[in-house]
Amino acid sequence: MDGDAERGRVLLEESREAVVVLDAEGIVLASSQRARQTVEGVREGEPLPLALLAGEQALIVPYTVDGRDERLVYLSRVGDLAAYEELRSGFTAAVSHELRTPLARLLSLLETALLPGEDVPDLVDRARHEVEQIRELIDEVLFLSELESGARVVALGAAPVLPVLEAVAAELEERAARAGVAVEVSGDPEASIEVRPRMLHVVAQNLAANAIRYAGPGSTARLSVERVEGAVVLRIADDGAGVEESDLPRLFERFYRADRSRASRGTGLGLAIVKHVVASAGGTVEARGGRGSGLEVRCVFPATH
């Protein structure tokens, strides 16, 4: 029973829902972290304000344990639901819009291939690239969805960073050469962070791929890791075209692209995925730079102990 009780406590505490447990008198016996952080008036050992039950959308599940009547209450504020619906609607519309462009190009290529005298092998090869672009977009949408739903576990033991950076640079060497971008790797071989190696690989790969795609021919992207004052800093810095300073705060939004990148074949999800993984590991991410002065993306993780 002790194991079951502890398991139940952890499940409640870590729930993504705002959920509380009430006794027969309406006293809060337990609550999730989300409830304490987002719902005013939730305090364990004190009565739950009646307004939360009467004026909010609440799902109440009564039950009896050891002869005591208790209630499990899921609290969902109307404003939260409206914001969620707005976000979901906007995300769906953005995905639809992003899919239309490669689909339109694919249809145009196939129609052109039917015309006499056209270079069919070349058109088929270009069509294949469009299919790969669509697949990449779908894969990243699903991956981001799994991150946000908690289906993907980010933190699981300490992972050394430098070997992952070196592996990513080797994987992207051919792509970087085609883009005319040099990728260099350096850093502290002892630096490690509480992130699964697979997730760390995703972060490094998206950072490097973003630099390769947008820095421009002749530029150099430096992927590095260092320990700084109790933290581990993973960064990618390039000396390429950069972006307007006004674009910097929005680079981590899903599907957002700076003006110079709107015609790019990227999915617009890479940096959004980076931000979500870093935040899930307890870190922060920021972008620095300006037009003509390159771009630097810094991911700051708590140091391992």
- Count helices and strands in the chain by DSSP H and E runs: 9, 11
pLDDT in tens, 22-81: 998 889 988 887 788 777 788 888 998 887 776 556 778 888 888 888 888 887 654 455
pLDDT in tens, 292-302: 788 999 999 88
CATH architecture of 159-302: 2-Layer Sandwich (3.30)
The CA–CA distances, whole Å, from 212 to 74, 75, 223, 285 equal 46, 45, 11, 19
Instruction: Quote the pTM value.
Output: 0.53
pLDDT in tens, 267-278: 567 788 788 788
| Bridge partners, residue 220, by sequence | 182
Report, in this order, helix, strand and coil percent for the chain, each rounded to 5: 45, 25, 30
pLDDT in tens, 174-210: 989 999 999 999 999 999 888 777 778 888 988 998 8
The mean pLDDT value for 87-91 works out to 53
Report the CATH number of the 2-76 domain.
Answer: 3.30.450.20
Residue with tokens 């110079």: 260
Q: Where are the domains of the chain?
A: 2-76, 79-149, 159-302
Q: Which residues contact 182 (CB under 8 A, 6 or more apart)?
A: 176, 219, 220, 221
Report the CATH number of the 79-149 domain.
Answer: 1.10.287.130
Would you say the CATH fold of 79-149 matches that of 2-76? no
Q: Which helix (H) or strand (E) holds 302?
A: strand 295-302
Whole-number mean pLDDT of the chain?
78
